[in-house]
Structure 1
Amino acid sequence: MKIVTNIARAAAAAAAAFPRPSALAGLDLLASAVVIVDGTGHIVYANAAAENLLESSLKALSRQKLCSLFANPAELDNVIAQARAHKFSDLRQELALERAGREALHVHTIASALDEPSDNVLLELRETVQQMKLDREERLLDQSQVNKELIRNLAHEIKNPLGGIRGAAQLLEMELPPLHLQQLREYTQVIIKEADRLQTLVDRLLAPHRRPHIVGDVNIHEVLERVRSLMMAEFPSGLAIVRDYDASLPEFRGDKEQLIQTVLNIAHNAAQALAERIDAGDAQIVFKTRVARQVTLAKVRYNLALDLHIIDNGPGIPPQIRDRIFYPLVSGRDGGSGLGLTLAQTFVHQHMGVIECESRPGYTDFRILIPLP
């Protein structure tokens, strides 16, 4: 942490003395969020990690006071004031910065006064939950790989006996005595129909592994508009689907049909969870796209990534299954197959991405991160 601090301070001091665009370029390579505030508390610089952390661009942030972004600014304001007064060479503190409508931002904060200009303060903000997120993503990837192998092997083992059971039931039906044909045929039809139902389930489990990965240029907003039209056709009233798009997002190489299925599975689950709100007429799903910078996915660092959010105002995911929602056959509603999110996760992993989920009553956010060129 000390090395990172010294690098950031040196780069920021150089930028203050020589205000060239390239002077701050090195700070964009840091994993820590770096923010420089002036004597009035306004943001004069934020690196790429800070833009991700604060969920806004430098252009938008530069018009605001850093402390005004949070509902409890007193502690952060005090840290900045103490650093500006040179009470410490660098002041380190753990802060919980509250944000309206979202979970608090828990960060390890390092504040350092700059020599030039003398009233500027450099802040490093590192999420204390970031390492936990990386560990969780790694566990999810490992678990996904284990699930994939288990499902594939199990499905193949189930297919052969199913075919035999169905065939035997059909042969038995043909041998039934005419006198009791109608009465006994009911039982053979139960066997045949249940075998067909299990065959359909097995086919769905194997679908991601059978279908070839068809790669082409993908515009994520075309994907979202396709899903939106499908959802509005199924839920014509009571559900609003809000677009919040970043038009600057570039196209990327991917499988368009897989991505449509991924977004559709998540959005359809959300709509089913919103049943009561749809009846009341105030259900909402938000499709939000942004560019994430300097992100780590599966231990690989990417300069840019698609940051797609599918947000609903439903009741939230039950706590007892929140950590298992991507496992196969785990469902939060009666009659659910528990395969929609499993397939979505598989498709996103095939694009070298990850799916994260944050949920509480009234707010559920599925976040999809996929590397961009």
Structure 2
Amino acid sequence: MDTGLLLNHLITAVLVINDDLELLYTNVATEQLLGVSNNKLLEQSLPDHYQTLGIEAHLLQAAIKDNQGLTVNTVTLVTLDGQQHTVDLTLTPIEHENAQALLELRQVDQQRRIHQQLTQDAQQQAAQYLVRNLAHEIKNPLGGLRGAAQLLSRELKEPELQEFTDLIIEQADRLRNLVDRLLGPQKPTQHSLYNIHEVIHKVLQLVYLTLPDNVTLKQDYDPSIPDIQMDPDQLQQAVLNIVQNAVQALDNAGGTIRIQTRTQHQVTIGTKRHKLVLMLSVIDNGPGINPELMDTLFYPMVTSREQGSGLGLSIAHNFARLHGGRIECDSSPGRTAFTITLPINS
């Protein structure tokens, strides 16, 4: 059997390097991890393909020259596009006339991400259960309050007094709207084949209407992504909520928002592994999110803005879940990325 074919089916990045850290071989998992095509990988040395790696290049070179193995766990890898990964690194010498070694980079942030997602989903479902119960309790007296205000309005003769009943009705309707948004859909709706870039296009049409002059939108699409089963209205709302959050984060100082679409192979969502997924990312270069909010970011009513409702990200999370997907956030000063991952049925 073809050895190269077997290596390309591994989820571990496998590289063959020499003591100058030149790449002699890479598998498909290496391309996906570093975000660089195989041809470009082989044109340059290993350090040219990442921003930082939690082990100095000279230590790798020394180990290869001395024909010594090396293992380092939970190493931080930051790729050229700014994505941060945690990997276990293993260097194994190869018996050859030239100093060469087999380098394995195994992502362990995937396992950590799965655990965090399962925990987050369980916690959010509990929070949504409490919110739904509270919402139902609010709707009943709210309907009675609105009805009483309508009856009172009919009995009042003075127009200036009717202004107060109109205000009561208006605020009751506003609260009912909020409650309906809190409840939201809890079951999958009818899905049909739709193109994700058409969804994004509709979102951008809405965003451009109120986009501040100091905020720039950039589009970075993979045009080969096939149509997927979706409710386009739900995904449009999810993406719109995320983009609007990014615009608001940049509103004071300005900046750039990049909307990116990519595919990725062999990705686990929850407990299910998918051969191919869509990854839609909204990336801004704003100040980042308060670390204290990260664990509860997708909970209902959680917000850092005085005028925010705290529902946008919760709704986006729910819509991603109803599509069998997930939403994640990676944030640090200067880079915040929200990524919606959705399965692609091949």
Q: Sort the TM-score into its range (normalised by shorter chain).
A: 0.7 to 0.9
1:75 match: 56
1:284 aligns with 2:261: no
Which one of the candidate residues 15, 29, 45 is aligned to 2:25?
45
CA contact (8 A) 2:67 2:99 kept: no
Alignment of 1:1-373 (within 5 A): 22-38=2-18, 40-71=20-51, 75-83=56-64, 85-87=66-68, 90-94=69-73, 95-97=75-77, 102=82, 105-115=85-95, 119-176=99-156, 178=157, 181-182=158-159, 184-209=161-186, 213-235=189-211, 237-278=213-254, 283-373=255-345
Letter in structure 1 aligned against 2:251: A
Report how far residue 310 of structure 1 moved: 0.4
Q: Judge which range, 352-361 or 105-114, deviates more.
A: 105-114
How many residue pairs end up in the alignment? 343
CA contact (8 A) 1:80 1:111 kept: no
Report how far residue 79 of structure 1 moved: 2.3
Letter in structure 1 aligned against 2:322: Q
CA contact (8 A) 2:34 2:50 kept: no
CA contact (8 A) 2:52 2:78 kept: yes
CA contact (8 A) 2:34 2:80 kept: no
Cα distance 1:149–1:48, how it changes in 2: closer, same or farther (>3 A)? farther
CA contact (8 A) 1:29 1:294 kept: no
Cα distance 1:63–1:372, how it changes in 2: closer, same or farther (>3 A)? farther
Report how far residue 348 of structure 1 moved: 0.8
Report how far residue 103 of structure 1 moved: 6.6
Report how far residue 306 of structure 1 moved: 0.9
Distance 2:26 2:260 in 1: 22
Q: Judge which range, 143-152 or 57-66, deviates more.
A: 143-152
Distance 1:301 1:357 in 2: 20
Report how far residue 255 of structure 1 moved: 1.7
Structure 1 unpaired stretches of 5+: 1-19
Q: Judge which range, 95-104 or 40-49, deviates more.
A: 95-104
Q: Judge which range, 248-257 or 297-306, deviates more.
A: 248-257
Distance 1:48 1:154 in 2: 50
**TM-score scaled by structure 1?**
0.82
Letter in structure 2 aligned against 1:277: A
CA contact (8 A) 2:301 2:309 kept: yes
**TM-score scaled by structure 2?**
0.88
Structure 2 unpaired stretches of 5+: none
Distance 1:80 1:305 in 2: 36
Say which SS state the counterpart of residue 171 (structure 2) adopts.
Answer: helix
Q: Judge which range, 221-230 or 296-305, deviates more.
A: 221-230
CA RMSD of aligned residues (A): 2.6
Distance 1:192 1:117 in 2: 85
Report how far residue 147 of structure 1 moved: 3.5
Cα distance 1:226–1:84, how it changes in 2: closer, same or farther (>3 A)? farther
Say which SS state the counterpart of residue 185 (structure 2) adopts.
Answer: helix
Report how far residue 326 of structure 1 moved: 0.6
Distance 1:28 1:147 in 2: 42
Report how far residue 107 of structure 1 moved: 2.7
Distance 1:23 1:98 in 2: 29
Report how far residue 349 of structure 1 moved: 0.9
Say which SS state the counterpart of residue 102 (structure 1) adopts.
Answer: coil
1:198-225 CA deviation, whole Å, 9 max, x = no partner?
Answer: 1011122233238x62311122222222
Report how far residue 105 of structure 1 moved: 4.4
Report how far residue 132 of structure 1 moved: 2.3
Distance 2:308 2:172 in 1: 19
Distance 2:222 2:97 in 1: 35
1:165-208 CA deviation, whole Å, 9 max, x = no partner?
Answer: 111122233334x4xx4554444334322211110111222332
Report how far residue 139 of structure 1 moved: 1.0
1:9 match: none
1:240-266 CA deviation, whole Å, 9 max, x = no partner?
Answer: 211111222222222222211111110
Distance 1:238 1:120 in 2: 51
Cα distance 1:46–1:258, how it changes in 2: closer, same or farther (>3 A)? farther
Distance 1:269 1:62 in 2: 40
Distance 2:93 2:160 in 1: 88
Distance 1:39 1:145 in 2: 52
Distance 1:333 1:226 in 2: 26
